[in-house]
Amino acid sequence: MPEIKIIEIKEEILADNDKLAGEIRRQMQERGILLLNLMSSPGSGKTSLIVRTVREMGNALRTAVIEADIDSTVDAETVAREGVPAVQFRTGGACHLDAAMVEAALREVSLDSLDLVILENIGNLVCPAEFDTGASVNVMILSVPEGDDKPLKYPLMFSTCDALVVNKIDYLQLADFNLQALRERAINLNPRIRIFEVSCKTGEGILAWVAWLRSEIEKIKEGERVRG
C-alpha cells in the first residue's frame, strides 16, 4: 500500500498569514500608527462604536477606517459622513479579514499623519479570532441582547482580545444579562483583558473607552506596545 501524504493546508495558510501580519504590524508601529482590529457578531454595534469614538476624539487624533463586509458599502458610508476617511473591503463571501486583505486595504489609505486605523472586521465570533490581521490591538464587542454566556461558547475570541466592550448597557434592565458572570468568564479565559461597559446610544462609558484607546496610541508612538 503506497504511503499517504498528508498536507496540512490550514497550518500552511496560517503560517503565511502570520508572517505577513508581523510585517504589517512592524510597518505600522514604525509609523507610530495604532492598527486596531474590531470584532463582534453582526448588529452588536461596531460601526456605532466607531462613530461615537470618532466624535469623542474630535480633531485631536487622526483616524481612518477599513470596513469589511461580504457585500454593501453601508458602514463605510456611515463613517464617511463623520468626515473620516473610509475604505470598504468587500470579501465576496469570506467570513474574516486576513493579513493579505488588510495589506491590500492599507494601500488605499493615506497613512501620512494618521494616529489610528480601525479595521471593522466581518460580523462573526469564530473565523476572525483565528487570523492575525497585523493589528497591534484586538478588541471585541459583546452587546447585552446577545447574552452573557458567549465566553463559554466562543472562548478563542475572548482569549485573543486585549479589550472587551460590552455595548447596549441601556438594555440591562430589559435583559436577563449578568454582568458579573460575564466578567468572571472573560477574565477566566484572559486575565489581562480590559472590560468597558458602554452604550453607544446614550454615550455612557464612552469616555473611559476613549481614554484607554488614547493610551494605547501613545504606547505605539513611544514604541512601548509590540505584539508578536
Q: Exposed (0-12), middle (13-18) or buried (19+): which is 71, by Cβ within 10 Å?
A: exposed
**Could you report the per-residue pLDDT of 8-50, keeping only the tens digit for each?**
555 666 788 999 999 999 999 999 999 999 999 999 999 999 9
Question: Within a domain: residue 227?
Answer: no
User: Under the phi-then-psi rule, with left for phi > 0, alpha for psi from -120 to 50, and beta for the rest, what region is 11?
Assistant: alpha
**Residue-range definition of the domain harbouring residue 135:** 9-221
Residues 73, 55: Cα–Cα separation, whole Å: 21
Question: Within a domain: residue 130?
Answer: yes
Q: Which of 100, 108, 94, 46 is closest to 74 using CA atoms? A: 46
Question: Within a domain: residue 208?
Answer: yes
pLDDT at 113: 86
Question: Within a domain: residue 14?
Answer: yes
User: What is the count of structural domains for the chain?
Assistant: 1
Question: Within a domain: residue 3?
Answer: no
Q: What is the pTM of this model?
A: 0.90
pLDDT at 21: 96
pLDDT at 1: 60
Question: Within a domain: residue 57?
Answer: yes
pLDDT at 72: 72
Alpha carbon distances (Å) from 148 to 42, 75, 112, 144: 16, 26, 41, 7
Question: Within a domain: residue 103?
Answer: yes
CATH code at position 47: 3.40.50.300
Q: How many CB atoms lie within 10 A of CB 52?
A: 23
Question: Within a domain: residue 133?
Answer: yes
Contact 102/133 with Cβ under 8 angstroms? yes
- pLDDT tens for each residue of the chain, 228 residues long: 666 545 555 566 678 899 999 999 999 999 999 999 999 999 999 999 999 999 999 888 899 999 887 667 788 888 889 999 988 887 766 778 899 999 999 999 999 889 999 999 998 899 899 999 999 999 999 999 999 999 999 999 999 999 999 999 999 999 999 999 999 999 999 999 999 999 999 999 999 999 999 999 999 998 875 554
Residues 122, 94: Cα–Cα separation, whole Å: 9
